[in-house]
C-alpha cells in the first residue's frame, strides 16, 4: 500500500530579550540555578505579570518575517496544567486569538508550507532529576517563547528538515533568537500521520517530542513513517499518542495516549488586560526587518551572478553573507570573492571551528590577497598559504608575501632551468603531450611549481614548456 | 476617651503619641480578642516611628496581603509558614506614609466566605454579639476596627468582602474602583474582581487611607493610570442637587424590614440635605449571584493551582503509601491544606472551565457580566450615586449558614454586582436592629468617582451618631 505522509511542526523559540516575558529578571543562559528569579517568575502568591514590550516587538517582527498577519488585538490566556516546573500551575499563553496567523515559508522546490499561527507565551522552569529526588531550576521560568505552528503541509522528513532550516535562518536573520537547540532556545515537536495516497481525510496522528536537533527530527519522522506503515500494512490501527524520540536507540516510544491528554481549561488571563496594537507600532517594527535570506539569495544570483550553489552557501549564515557583501564593496568581482569565501575561507572556518566574526581576517585583507593573485604576485596555491598566515598573524597579504619571500617567480631564466629538468625527468608526459594530449602539459607545469616551492608563475611556466616542446 | 478608640485623624490632629496608641491597642487585644478572635498575629514593632501622612498610625492588614518576611497565610493551612520575600504595593505605600504595620487579621480562607467562619484558625466573632458572625471575608479587619483592636485596617473585596463585614460590625468599608488600588501582593481570589480597600471607624479615615493606597502601579497591569485626587477634599457636608438612584430590584422580598426602614430613613436624611432621588432599574440584578460564582470560582480554581507543596507552604505525604510520588504529594497536600469551602470553589471553577462546559458557563457568565455593567452605565447617566442596603439582614448566628452554602452566597446579593461592574462602593453605619446589631448603608458610584461616595457618606455621617456607637465587650 502506498501512503502519503502528513507532517505538521510546532516550533518553540526563545526570544532574545534582555529580561523575561512578564518580569524584570535576566534571561542570560547558564547561570547558577534559581539565581535569576523573582516573585513573578517564581509564581509566588500575590505576584502579577507585566508584559515585556521587547518580547511583543520581537514577536511581531518574527510574525512579519514569516509572512504572517499581525492581529491588532493582544490577549493572553491561561493554560492550566500541573507540573512542578510550572510554578503557577498555569502557563500564560495565547489560545483563541494568537498575535499572528496565516504565514508561510517557501521551500527550494517552490512548495509553500503555510504557518497557521505564531503566538507568545512564557517558558517553564527546568527539572533536574537526582537519585532520590528532583530539583527545580526556575531560571528559565517566564522566558519569552514564541510558538510557531505550521499547517500539515509537510510531506516528508526532508521537507520537515528544510522547513526547519529555512525557519531558523529567518529567525537568525532578524536576530530574534540564538536558535540553539542544545541550549533549548529552539525546540521542535512534530505531528505525523499517514493516509492512503490520494485520500482526503487525515489519518490518526502521533505527536513526537524530545528531538534535540533538526537531524533528530528528520530521523524520528523517518522512524515513525516506517513504524506507522508497518502497522497499517499489518492491518493495525494507529493509536493517537504522544511519543518520545530516543536518540540512542533511534526509536520513538509512547509517553501518553490521547485519553490521558490534558484538558487545559483555557480562559482569558485576568491579570493582563487585553489591548489594541496600533498599526503605527507594527509599521515601525516592519521597518526594522532586514533583507531576508530568500531575497538575498535571489539578489546574489541575479545581480552578482553567483551560482545558486554558492549563493545558497553564503546566505546560510547572516554574518558570512554580510562579510561577503562588505568584500563586494571593496572589489568588483563578486564571483571571485565567492570562490574564495566558499573555498579557502570556509575551510579555514571549519578547521578552526570559528565563525566569520571570530576569524582574524578583515575584508580588506582578503581583498588585498585576491588582488595579489590578480597581479600574479602569488599563485593560488601560495595564496592559500598566505591566507592562513594572515589569519594567524593579522598582518596584510602584502606584508606577509614580502617578509617571507613568497612572491611568484616570473623570471624566465630561472624557470627555464626548472622546466628543462621537468622535461628530462618525465619523458612519458612529454610523449603524451607530443602525441596530442594537451592536458599532459599541466602535469609538467605542476612539477615545475613543485620545484619552485610553489613560487613559479604557472602562466609563465606553461608558456616556457610549450615553447620547449614544439 | 481610650486611645484604642481614636480614629487616625484624631490621633493626627491631637498629636497623640502613636507609640501609646499602639500600646493601648495591644492591651485591648489582650483583653478582648479572646472573645472576638479577629487578630491572627501582631507585626513586629518597628524601632522608629515612620514619617509621613500616617506617621505611626497602627494598621491591621487582612492576612491575604503580602508583608515581607512576615507570615501571610490567607487563613489557610496550605500556606503554613509562608513568609513572602516581598511587600505588596499597598504595604510599601503604607510604609512610605509612615504607617505602623500592626497586626494581621482573620478571614475566610482565601477570602472564600461571608462570615469568617471558613478560617483554618477558627471563626471571628462579631463584637456586637459574640454569638454572631462579623461577616466576611474581611471579618477580622472589620471586627478589629469595631472592637478597638486596630485604628484602621485593610481588607479585600471580591464580592462584598469589605462592605458586608463593615455593615455587620458597624464600621466604614470601602471597595474602590477596580484598578484604583494595586493588587500586586494581594493573594488572588478572583483576579478580575479583587480590590483592596480600607475598613475604618469613620468616613474621614477611609479617605485618609485611600489617599495613601490608591494609584497606578507598574507592577499591576490592571491598575489604571487615573490621577488620584486628595479624597479628604471630598469630605464636605453638602449633597445639594446630587441625584440618588434607588434600584427597585434591591428592595425585594427577603430583605429585613428593619434594614429596609433604616435605609429609607437614610435616604430621607439625604433628601432633607438637598439631594434628589429617583427610582431606577438594574434589570440584570437577579443574575449577579450565579454570574459571580462562575467568574470568581473559575479564576480562583486557576489562582489556587499554585498551592501544590512544591515551593512553599504545606507539603504532605500520602498517608497510606510507603513511597510518595509527585501526584500523591499534590493530592495529599491539597487534601490536607484546603478547607471545605476552598475545595468546593476549586471544584466549581474547574468544572466551569472544563472542555464542553466552558461556553455554557464561563463564556455565558462573561456575557451576563457585560450586561450587568451596562445596567450601571445606563443608571449613572441619570444619577450620581446609587443607594442600597449593604446586606439584606443583620449579622447572622455563627453556624447558622455553614451547612447551607447557597444561603451564605445570597448574603452578598447586594454587593456582588459592584465587583462584576468594577465600580466603587462604600458601606457606612445607618442604624441598629432590635437585636442591637449594626445596619449598613451601601452607596455606589461610577468608576473612579470615589469622591462622590465620600461626599454622600460624609454628609450622612455628619448628620448621624451611628458611627460613634461602640460595642460593649
Q: DSSP per residue over A351-406, as a string?
A: HHT--TTTSS--HHHHHHHHHHHHHTSS-HHHHHHHHHHHHHH---HHHHHHHHT-
Write down the pLDDT at residue B385.
98
The pLDDT of residue B320: 66
User: What phi and psi values does residue B245 have, to the nearest 5 degrees?
Assistant: -105, 135
**The dihedral sign for the CA sequence B304, B308, B312, B316:** positive
Contact (CB<8Å) B311/A51: no
CA A155 – CA A373 distance, rounded (Å): 48
Inform me whether the pLDDT recorded for B461 exceeds 70. Answer: yes
Position B321 confidence tier, pLDDT thresholds 50, 70, 90: low
Q: Which of A39, A136, A267 sits opposite B362 (nearest CB)?
A: A267
Q: Which domains does chain A have, with CATH numbers?
A: 3-284 (no CATH), 290-404 (no CATH), 412-468 (1.10.10.410)
Interface touch B221/A51, C-beta < 8 Å: yes
| H/E element, B213 | helix B203-213
What is the pTM for the complete model shown? 0.90
The residue of B82, B216, B303 whose CB has the most chain A CBs within 10 angstroms, and thus the best one to mutate to test that interface, is: B303
- The answer to whether A129 faces chain B, any CB pair under 8 Å, is no
- Tell me if B316 is assigned to some domain: no
What b-and-e string marks burial along B388-397, b requiring 16 or more CB atoms within 10 Å of the CB?
A: bbbbbbbbbe
A139 touches A37 (CB < 8 A): yes
pLDDT for the residue A354: 87
CB contact under 8 A, B72 and A90: no
Looking at the complex, does the CB of residue B314 fall below 8 Å from at least one CB of chain A?
Answer: no
State the DSSP H helix or E strand holding residue B293, giving kind and residue range, or none if neither.
helix B288-303
Kindly state whether A84 is in contact with chain B, defined as any CB-CB distance less than 8 angstroms.
Answer: yes
CATH code: domain of residue B91: 3.90.1300.10
CA distance A43 to A131: 27
pLDDT for residue B170: 98
The mean pLDDT value for B13-23 works out to 96
Nearest by CB to A90, from B187, B219, B302: name it. B302
Cross-chain Cβ contact A80/B353 below 8 Å: yes
With H, G, I as helix, E, B as strand and everything else as coil, classify residue B340: helix
Instruction: Convert the pLDDT of each residue in B430-460 to its tens digit.
Output: 999 999 999 999 999 999 999 999 999 999 9
Number of CB pairs < 8 Å for A and B? 101
Is there a contact between A271 and B191 (Cβ–Cβ < 8 Å)? yes
Give me the tens of pLDDT residue by residue for chain A, a chain 470 residues long: 789 999 999 999 999 999 999 999 999 988 999 999 999 999 999 999 999 999 999 999 999 999 999 999 999 999 999 999 999 999 999 999 999 999 999 999 999 999 999 999 999 999 999 988 889 999 999 999 999 999 999 999 999 999 999 999 999 999 999 888 888 889 999 999 999 998 999 999 999 999 999 999 999 999 999 999 999 999 999 999 999 999 999 999 998 877 666 799 999 999 999 999 999 999 999 999 999 999 999 999 999 999 999 999 999 988 999 999 999 999 999 999 999 999 999 989 999 888 888 888 999 999 999 988 888 777 777 788 889 989 998 888 888 887 776 776 666 777 888 888 888 888 888 888 888 888 888 888 888 888 887 777 778 888 888 888 87
CA atoms of A351 and B341, how far apart (whole Å): 68
Cα distances from B464 to residues B265, B270, B428, B458, B469, in angstroms, run: 11, 11, 11, 10, 11
CB contact under 8 A, A265 and B330: no
User: Closest-CA residue in chain B for A92?
Assistant: B302
CB < 8 Å to A271, chain B: 188, 191, 221-222
In a domain, B315, yes or no: no
Q: What is the pLDDT of residue A385?
A: 86
C-alpha cell at A138: 526556575
Q: Between A46, A80, A84, which is nearest B305 by CB?
A: A80
Query: Using CA atoms, how far apart are residues B301 and B441, in angstroms rounded to an integer?
Result: 32
- Grade residue B234 by pLDDT with cuts at 50, 70 and 90: very high
Q: Does residue B273 sit within a domain?
A: no
CA distances from A14 to A80, A171, A251, A310, B187 (A): 21, 10, 27, 30, 30
Q: Which residues of B are catalytic?
A: 62, 137, 161
Contacts of A267 in chain B (CB under 8 A): 298-299, 302, 353, 358, 362
Cβ of B219 and A51 within 8 Å?
A: no
Chain A neighbors of B86, CB-CB under 8 A:
39, 44, 46-47
Q: Out of A123-127, B1-5, B165-169, B258-262, pick the least confident.
A: B1-5
CA B383, CA B379: separation in Å to the nearest integer? 6
CB-CB neighbors (< 8 A) of A48 in chain B: 183-184, 219-222
Of residues A43, A46, A82, nearest to B330 (C-beta): A82
Q: Which domain holds residue B46?
A: 3-241+457-468
* Residue among B16, B23, B21 at smallest CA distance from B3: B21
Probe site for chain B from A265, A269, A274 (most B CB atoms < 10 A): A265
pLDDT for position B80:
97
B310 close contact with A: CB closer than 8 A: yes
CB < 8 Å to B306, chain A: 43, 45, 87-89
Residues in contact with B132: Cβ distance below 8 Å, sequence separation at least 6, in sequence order: B125, B126, B168, B395, B396, B397, B398, B437
Q: Is-contact A321 A315, C-beta < 8 A?
A: yes
The total domain count for chain B is 1
| Predicted pLDDT of residue A469 | 81
Contact A50 B355 (CB under 8 A): no
Torsion-angle region of A46 (φ positive above 0: left; ψ -120 to 50: alpha; else: beta): left
Please report whether residue B440 resides in a domain.
Answer: no
**B346 found inside a domain:** no
- Residue in chain A lying closest to B307 (CA): A88
Mutate to test the interface with A, among B305, B322, B334, B352 (most CBs of A within 10 A): B305
Decide if A79 touches B, using CB distance below 8 A: no
Amino acid at each position: 500500500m502506498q501512503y502519503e505522509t502528513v507532517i505538521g511542526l510546532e516550533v518553540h523559540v526563545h526570544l532574545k530579550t534582555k529580561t523575561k516575558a512578564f518580569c524584570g529578571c535576566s534571561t542570560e543562559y547558564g547561570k547558577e540555578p534559581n539565581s535569576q528569579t523573582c516573585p513573578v517568575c517564581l509564581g509566588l502568591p500575590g505576584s502579577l505579570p507585566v508584559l515585556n514590550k521587547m518580547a511583543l516587538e520581537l514577536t511581531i517582527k518574527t510574525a512579519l518575517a514569516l509572512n504572517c498577519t499581525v492581529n491588532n488585538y493582544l490577549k493572553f490566556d491561561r493554560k492550566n496544567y500541573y507540573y512542578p516546573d510550572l510554578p503557577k500551575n498555569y502557563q500564560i499563553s495565547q489560545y483563541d486569538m494568537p498575535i499572528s496567523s496565516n504565514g508561510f515559508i517557501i521551500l527550494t522546490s517552490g512548495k509553500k508550507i503555510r504557518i497557521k499561527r505564531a503566538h507568545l507565551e512564557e517558558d517553564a522552569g527546568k527539572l533536574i532529576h537526582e537519585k532520590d529526588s528532583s530539583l527545580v531550576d526556575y531560571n528559565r521560568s517566564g522566558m519569552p517563547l514564541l510558538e510557531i505552528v505550521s499547517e500539515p503541509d509537510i510531506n516528508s522528513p526532508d521537507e520537515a528538515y528544510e522547513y526547519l532550516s529555512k525557519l531558523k535562518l529567518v529567525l537568525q536573520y532578524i536576530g530574534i533568537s540564538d536558535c540553539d537547540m542544545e541550549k533549548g532556545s529552539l525546540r521542535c515537536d512534530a505531528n505525523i500521520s499517514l493516509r492512503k495516497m490520494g485520500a482526503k481525510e487525515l489519518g490518526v496522528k502521533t505527536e513526537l517530542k524530545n528531538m534535540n536537533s533538526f537531524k533528530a527530527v528528520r530521523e524520528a519522522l523517518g522512524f515513525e513513517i516506517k513504524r506507522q506503515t508497518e502497522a497499517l500494512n499489518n492491518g493495525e490501527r494507529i493509536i493517537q499518542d504522544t511519543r518520545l524520540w530516543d536518540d540512542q536507540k533511534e526509536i520513538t516510544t509512547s509517553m501518553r495516549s490521547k485519553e490521558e491528554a490534558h484538558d487545559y481549561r483555557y480562559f482569558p488571563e485576568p491579570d493582563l488586560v487585553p489591548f489594541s496594537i496600533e498599526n503605527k507600532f507594527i509599521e515601525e517594527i516592519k521597518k526594522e526587518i532586514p533583507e531576508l535570506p530568500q531575497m538575498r539569495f535571489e539578489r546574489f544570483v541575479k545581480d552578482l551572478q553567483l551560482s545558486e550553489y554558492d549563493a545558497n552557501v553564503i546566505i546560510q549564515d547572516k554574518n558570512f553573507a554580510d562579510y561577503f557583501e562588505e568584500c563586494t564593496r571593496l572589489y568588483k568581482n563578486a564571483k571571485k570573492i565567492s570562490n574564495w569565501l566558499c573555498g579557502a575561507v570556509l575551510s579555514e572556518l571549519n578547521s578552526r571551528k570559528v565563525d566569520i566574526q571570530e576569524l582574524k581576517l578583515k575584508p580588506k585583507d582578503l581583498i588585498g590577497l585576491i588582488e595579489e593573485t590578480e597581479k600574479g604576485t602569488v599563485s593560488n596555491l601560495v595564496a592559500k598559504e598566505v591566507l592562513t598566515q594572515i589569519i594567524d598573524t593579522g598582518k596584510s597579504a602584502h606584508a606577509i608575501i614580502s617578509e617571507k619571500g613568497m612572491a611568484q617567480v616570473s623570471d624566465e631564466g630561472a624557470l627555464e632551468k626548472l622546466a628543462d629538468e621537468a622535461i628530462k625527468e618525465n619523458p612519458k608526459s612529454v610523449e603524451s603531450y607530443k602525441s596530442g594530449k594537451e592536458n599532459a602539459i599541466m602535469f609538467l607545469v605542476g612539477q615545475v611549481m613543485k620545484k619552485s616551492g610553489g613560487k613559479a608563475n604557472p602562466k609563465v611556466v606553461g608558456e616556457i614548456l610549450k615553447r620547449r616542446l614544439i | 476617651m481610650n486611645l484604642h478608640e481614636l480614629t487616625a485623624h484624631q490621633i493626627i490632629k491631637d498629636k497623640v503619641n502613636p507609640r501609646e496608641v499602639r500600646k493601648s491597642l495591644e492591651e485591648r487585644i489582650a483583653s478582648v480578642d479572646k472573645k472576638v478572635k479577629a487578630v491572627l498575629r501582631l507585626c513586629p514593632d518597628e524601632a522608629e516611628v515612620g514619617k509621613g501622612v500616617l506617621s505611626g498610625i497602627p494598621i491591621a492588614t487582612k492576612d491575604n496581603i503580602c508583608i515581607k518576611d512576615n507570615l501571610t497565610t490567607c487563613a489557610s493551612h496550605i500556606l503554613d509558614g509562608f513568609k513572602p520575600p516581598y511587600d505588596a504595593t499597598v504595604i510599601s505605600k503604607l510604609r512610605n506614609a509612615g504607617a505602623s504595620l500592626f497586626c494581621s487579621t482573620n478571614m475566610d480562607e482565601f477570602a472564600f466566605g461571608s462570615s469568617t467562619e471558613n478560617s483554618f484558625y477558627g471563626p471571628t466573632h462579631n463584637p456586637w454579639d459574640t454569638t454572631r458572625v462579623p461577616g466576611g471575608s474581611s471579618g477580622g479587619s472589620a471586627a478589629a476596627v469595631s472592637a478597638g483592636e486596630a485604628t484602621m485596617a485593610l481588607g479585600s473585596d471580591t464580592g462584598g468582602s469589605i462592605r458586608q463585614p463593615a455593615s455587620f460590625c458597624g464600621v466604614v468599608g470601602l471597595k474602590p474602583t477596580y484598578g484604583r488600588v494595586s493588587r500586586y501582593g494581594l493573594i488572588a481570589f478572583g483576579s478580575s474582581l479583587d480590590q483592596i480597600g480600607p475598613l475604618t471607624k469613620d468616613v474621614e479615615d477611609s479617605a485618609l487611607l485611600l489617599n495613601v493606597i490608591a494609584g497606578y502601579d507598574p507592577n499591576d497591569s490592571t491598575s489604571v493610570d487615573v490621577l488620584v485626587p486628595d479624597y479628604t477634599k471630598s469630605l464636605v457636608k453638602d449633597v445639594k442637587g446630587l441625584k440618588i438612584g434607588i434600584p427597585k430590584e434591591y428592595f425585594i422580598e427577603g430583605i429585613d424590614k428593619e434594614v429596609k426602614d433604616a435605609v429609607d430613613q437614610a435616604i430621607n436624611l439625604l433628601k432633607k440635605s438637598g439631594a434628589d432621588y429617583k427610582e431606577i432599574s438594574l434589570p440584570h440584578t437577579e443574575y449577579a449571584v450565579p454570574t459571580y460564582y462562575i467568574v470568581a470560582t473559575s479564576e480562583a480554581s486557576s489562582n489556587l493551582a499554585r498551592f501544590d507543596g512544591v515551593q512553599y507552604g504545606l507539603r504532605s505525604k500520602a498517608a497510606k503509601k510507603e513511597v510518595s510520588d509527585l501526584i500523591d504529594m499534590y493530592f495529599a497536600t491539597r487534601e490536607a491544606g484546603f478547607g471545605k469551602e476552598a475545595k468546593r470553589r476549586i471544584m466549581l471553577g474547574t468544572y466551569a472551565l472544563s472542555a464542553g462546559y466552558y461556553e455554557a458557563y464561563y463564556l455565558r457568565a462573561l456575557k451576563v457580566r457585560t450586561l450587568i455593567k451596562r445596567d450601571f452605565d445606563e443608571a449613572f447617566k441619570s444619577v450620581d450615586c446609587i443607594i442600597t442596603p449593604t446586606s439584606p439582614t443583620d449579622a447572622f448566628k455563627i453556624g447558622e449558614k455553614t451547612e447551607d452554602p447557597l444561603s451564605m452566597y445570597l448574603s452578598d446579593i447586594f454587593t456582588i454586582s459592584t465587583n462584576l461592574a468594577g465600580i466603587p462602593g462604600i458601606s457606612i453605619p445607618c442604624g441598629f436592629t432590635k437585636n442591637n446589631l449594626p445596619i449598613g448603608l451601601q452607596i455606589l458610584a461610577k468608576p473612579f468617582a470615589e469622591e462622590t461616595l465620600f461626599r454622600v457618606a460624609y454628609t450622612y455621617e455628619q448628620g448621624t451618631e451611628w458611627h460613634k456607637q461602640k460595642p460593649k465587650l
